[in-house]
Structure formats: C-alpha cells, structure tokens
Amino acid sequence: MSIAVSPDLTTELRLDHLRALEAESIHIMREVVAEFERPVMLYSIGKDSSVLLRLAQKAFYPGPIPFPLLHIDTTYKFREMIQFRDEMAKAVGARLIVHTNEEAIGEGTQPFKVGTQRCCGLLKTKALLDALQAGNFDAAIGGARRDEERSRAKERIFSVRDPNGQWDPKRQRPELWNLLNGRIRPGESIRVFPLSNWTEIDIWQYINIENIPIVPLYYAKDREVIVRGNSLIVQEQPFVVTMPGEKPQTVKCRMRSLGCSPCTGAIHSDADTIPKIINELIATKQSERLLRIIDHDQDGSMEVKKREGYF
C-alpha cells in the first residue's frame, strides 16, 4: 500500500491527499450500510463509478460489497460501455440490476425526436426513480463530485430526496464535521455522494496509482467521427444522421466524460495512457462537461434536473 509516511517517524505522520480522500469515502460508505436498510449503488460505468466500485470493495473487505449495483440503461450508451459493465460486475462479484424505461423506448424516445430535456427526463430521471421505487431502496450511492457543476458544489454528502425523489436546495440539512445524518421520514430517501470532495484530477491520479480498469473509450485512438463544431460525434445510433456536407472522418480522439453516444462528444487527443490523460487535463482550458449537451440545454440545467430527481 503506497502510503506516504515521512521517513522519520518521530516528526510527523501524514496521509497524502489521495489516501485522505479514500479514507473519507470509505467512512461515508460504511455509514450508509450501518444506517440504512436497503442501500444501492448507482453504477454508470464511467471513471467515477470505477473509482466508487474500488472504494466499495475496500470499505467492506474482507466481506463482499453489501449492496447491489444499479445501472440505468438508456439503450443509447456506447457498446464498449455495456461490455465493460458486465465484465466488471462479474469481476467484483456484485449483483447488477439493469433498468430501462421500456415504455418510453417502445414509443421511440430519442434525443433528436423529443429533445434532450425530455429524453433525459424519461430515460434517466424517470427510469431512475422507477428503479429505486421498484427495489424499495432507501439510500442510493452515486459518483457525483462537487467540482463538476456549480449546483453540485452545494450538495450535501447525505442528500435528502422527498417521496417523489426530488431535491429542495433550500431545505438542505446542515452537515458538519464528518457527522452524517442518516435519519429520514417515511417515503423519503437519500442520495449519497462519497466522491463529493474529489476533483477530476484526483480521480485520474487515483485510477493511476490503483490500476483501476476503465472503459477503453477514455483512451485516445483513431476513431471514425462526425466533426460538428467543437464536437466530435461517434456515430453509433442509426438516428444520428450526417448533415449535408458532413462526412465521417478518422480522428485521433477520446472521451473525457461518458454519457449517451448521441449526446456526448469526443475530444481531439493523443492521450492513450493514464499519465498522458493527466497531463492533458492539467493543460486543458475546457471543463469536463462542456461536451455534455444536456448540461447546457437551459439556464441552471443541472439544478433543474436535480430538483426533478436526476442523479
């Protein structure tokens, strides 16, 4: 275990930055298991979920992860993500629940037909709320970080949702020291964010020192994409059509953030190893979620989605 201990033990013992964050996250996950009847962990297959999964293994070792994983499948995820998901669940020995809003898919819901706001509402928010209700889960652990988006910067580690799964930013409970209030009223549930204090760079540095497996889409390689403005779009869904004048080109690129393929752009990149990704991030001038179309579809987009129950 690579704990940075000062060479001279008589001076000062100090846990380095990443190990301190790790210890805090483990503490949070253990509190969830101690205080809730039916916790579940949201597993979105991305880099943050990969870190969350490793932390869950650490928190309960030598026991197994004591809660199931839940993936909300919009059916528009990248194929490589789904393959990775199934392999990981098997490797860590966790129970995986996959939930899709079949009704909406049956009605042909897709972002270009109903708009991104409605598409997210049906395939993510509604699907999530339905899945939480179906499983009767009282605590849902997720990988959101406060540095991702400005309304997330205000969210508590234990964040209460009303019986409709909605968030009221004005009625947030004060959260002091490391004392997490796990008490809820009947019908309420809680969302838990063990990675609250991690930044994007922390996540990558941790993946690096821990050798955590990640979806290959994060690594740069030559991919066939449509270049549309700032966005490089990987054409996975038949309804992502080329506009007049566009044609697929081969570009060396990678995904900085993973979502649904029609709504997540790739970035130009040569970073095909984790150290290269870290260097690229240190040099970048663009935020992580810039190419996540759904964050920008209205003012205060993420806050509105969160109030409605989005993770």
Strands (DSSP E) contained in the chain are 39-42, 69-72, 96-99, 139-141, 158-161, 189-192, 221-228, 231-234, 249-254, 267-268
Amino acid at 14: R
> Cβ(112)–Cβ(239) under 8 Å?
yes
- H or E stretch at 111: helix 111-114
Q: Minimum CB separation from another protein for residue 119, in Å?
A: 22
Which DSSP string corresponds to 127-144?
Answer: HHHHHHHHHT-SEEE---
| Of residues 63 and 244, the one with the C-beta less far from another protein | 63
Instruction: Compute CA distances 113 → 74, 87, 105, 110, 119, whole Å.
Output: 15, 33, 12, 6, 9
Q: Minimum CB separation from another protein for residue 277, in Å?
A: 16
Between CA 12 and CA 299 the distance in angstroms is 48
Q: Minimum CB separation from another protein for residue 191, in Å?
A: 15
| Of residues 100 and 197, the one with the C-beta less far from another protein | 197
Between CA 134 and CA 117 the distance in angstroms is 24
| Of residues 77 and 161, the one with the C-beta less far from another protein | 161
Q: Name 160's bridge partners.
A: 190
Decide the pairing of beta strands 69-72 and 96-99: parallel
| Of residues 279 and 286, the one with the C-beta less far from another protein | 286
| Of residues 48 and 149, the one with the C-beta less far from another protein | 149
The residues of the shown chain that bind another protein, judged by CB under 8 A, are 1, 3, 12-17, 19-20, 22-24, 26-27, 30-31, 33-34, 57-64, 146-147, 149-154, 169-170, 172-179, 181, 183-185, 188, 196-197, 199, 201, 284-287, 290, 299-300, 303
Q: Minimum CB separation from another protein for residue 177, in Å?
A: 5
Using DSSP, state whether 159 is helix, strand or coil: strand
Q: Minimum CB separation from another protein for residue 293, in Å?
A: 13
| Of residues 49 and 151, the one with the C-beta less far from another protein | 151
Q: Minimum CB separation from another protein for residue 184, in Å?
A: 6
| Of residues 30 and 99, the one with the C-beta less far from another protein | 30
Which DSSP string corresponds to 1-13?
Answer: ------SSTTT--
Say which DSSP state 296 is in.
G
Q: Minimum CB separation from another protein for residue 80, in Å?
A: 26
